[in-house]
Every structure is written in C-alpha cells, then in structure tokens.
Amino acid sequence: MSQAVAEFVDVSKTYQAPLFRGGQVVQALRKVGFRIERGEVFALLGPNRAGKTTLVKILLGLCHATGGQVLRLGKPLRDRSTLAHIGYMHENQAFPRYLTATALLKLYGTLSWIGPEELQKRIPLLLKKVGLTDRAHEPIARFSKGMVQRLALAQALLGEPDLLVLDEPTEGLDLGGRQLLREIVADQRRRGKTVLIVSHVLGEVEQACDRLAVLVDGSVAHVGPVADLLREPESGGQRSLESALQPIYAKHSHSH
C-alpha cells in the first residue's frame, strides 16, 4: 500500500467543449504524475486553465479521469470511505446564507456522520480557532467575504482530516486572516497531517510549502522542493518564486 496521501499516475482528462465554444475535444490533463507525501504542505501551481482545478476535482471524486490512476490515502478512488478523511475549502463558498455559523457547522458535521456530542465539543473550539466566536449565532448573510473564508476553513477542519485541500484559501482574507491561515497550516504539519494548497499568491506558497508541482497546459512542468526553486542557479543566492516560475511557464507553454 502506498504511503503517499495522494498519488497521480499518468492521469489524463479529455472532455467535449459545449457547442457554443466550438464543440471540440479539450485535453485538460496530459499524463500527470506526482505524489503528495504524508505530513507535507504541498502546493499546486500553474497559470489559469492549466488543469489544477480539474486535478483536484478528480482527487475529490467530483469528476473522473479518462486515463491513468489516482490513489487517495493509499486506496483507489472507488473506495469512497477515504473521503471522510479529507477536508476541502472551496475557492467560492455557496453556504446557505440564512444559517448561523454554528448551524452551518452542525449541518456539515451531521452530513459527515460526526455525533452530536462530538460536534458540541468541536464547533466552539473551531469557531475560536478561526476567530468567529463572537459571530457564532449570526446569520452568514451578515458576514464579510473574509469571515465566510474563515468559516469555510472551520468547515474544512471539522472532520479532523488527514488531508486538508485549500483552493485559493487567502481570497478575501485580511492580514490577520492570512496569519491565522499560516498558523493552521503549520499546526496541521506539526500534527503529521497533509495540506494541499492551490494558490496564485506566491508569497504564501514560499512561506508555507515544502514541495510543489507546476502544471502548464495540463502537463507537469516541474515537481520538487520549494527551496530548490528559490535558489539562484548561478550564484546560489535567493530569488523569488515568481522569477523562478517564469522560465518554467514560458518553456512549457510553447511546447504544446
């Protein structure tokens, strides 16, 4: 059994574009292969339409690959019991806005088969962790974008997941919210949990992540430690992640 929390082996995905977009077959992923190891913070980077969201959807069982194999927590995707050990924070939340923060977490917890007594313990702790204790009984309709993001983070942590998937997690977060997110990610790592971050905010990736995979035009353009990319090849000094990624993007976008 694989020790990787997620393993992608030659994963491909094609789909038919709608007729108003020409109806042609689109190759979203081309033989994608890499592993996410237990206990690491891993980033998935790439320009828009590189295939990042498609790959995450396949991992979560929200769409199917047309080729290759994916293992989730060491088991094939058809074993849906592994989904109980994954927390997912979506880029755009669609929470019922009439619910309070507490009621929303209770709803998600019940859907995840977490018992009422356990929920009664976990919900106040999570709301405190994300800084929403004073808004626990307020309807989500009154929340700012940043507060909804904090609540989404609490929802993703509700099942105490082995793998936490964060899609553009800093969207709408203020400075305090971003600091909170960093602390939560670091805490997950300390506890031997795994975090997958999909983000355009390269500064956050530089600070938080151990390794990364870069997708360009549906193919893997680079996989490796973040620290290696930040090292200037000639001088051995430091460079920004943005300057390290530019030649990777350019080289691979011209190869398809």
Between CA 96 and CA 139 the distance in angstroms is: 9
Q: What total of structural domains would you count in the chain?
A: 1
Residue 77 tokens, joined: 């995707």
Residue 132 tokens, joined: 């929403």
Within-domain flag for 18: no
Within-domain flag for 6: no
Q: What is the CATH number of the domain that holds 222?
A: 3.40.50.300
3-state secondary structure of 99: coil
Residue 238 tokens, joined: 């430091």
The Cα-based distances of 66 to 14, 150, 168, 217 in angstroms read: 6, 35, 26, 17
Within-domain flag for 221: yes
Within-domain flag for 16: no
Tell me: pLDDT of 23 over 90. no
Within-domain flag for 74: no
Q: How confident is the model at residue 1 (pLDDT cuts 50, 70, 90)?
A: very low
pLDDT digits over 68-77, tens only?
999 999 999 9
pLDDT digits over 137-168, tens only?
999 999 999 999 999 999 999 999 999 999 99
Within-domain flag for 1: no
Within-domain flag for 13: no
Within-domain flag for 11: no
- For 232, the domain range is 39-64+81-253
Between CA 220 and CA 34 the distance in angstroms is: 8
Which pTM was predicted?
Answer: 0.93
Between CA 42 and CA 193 the distance in angstroms is: 11
Between CA 240 and CA 238 the distance in angstroms is: 7
Give me the residue label for tokens 């795994």. Answer: 194
**Sequence-distant (≥ 6) Cβ neighbours of residue 240 within 8 angstroms:** 202, 206, 230
Between 101-111 and 116-129, two packed helices, what is the crossing angle to 10 degrees? Answer: 130
**Sequence-distant (≥ 6) Cβ neighbours of residue 98 within 8 angstroms:** 139, 140, 141
Tell me: pLDDT of 2 over 70. no
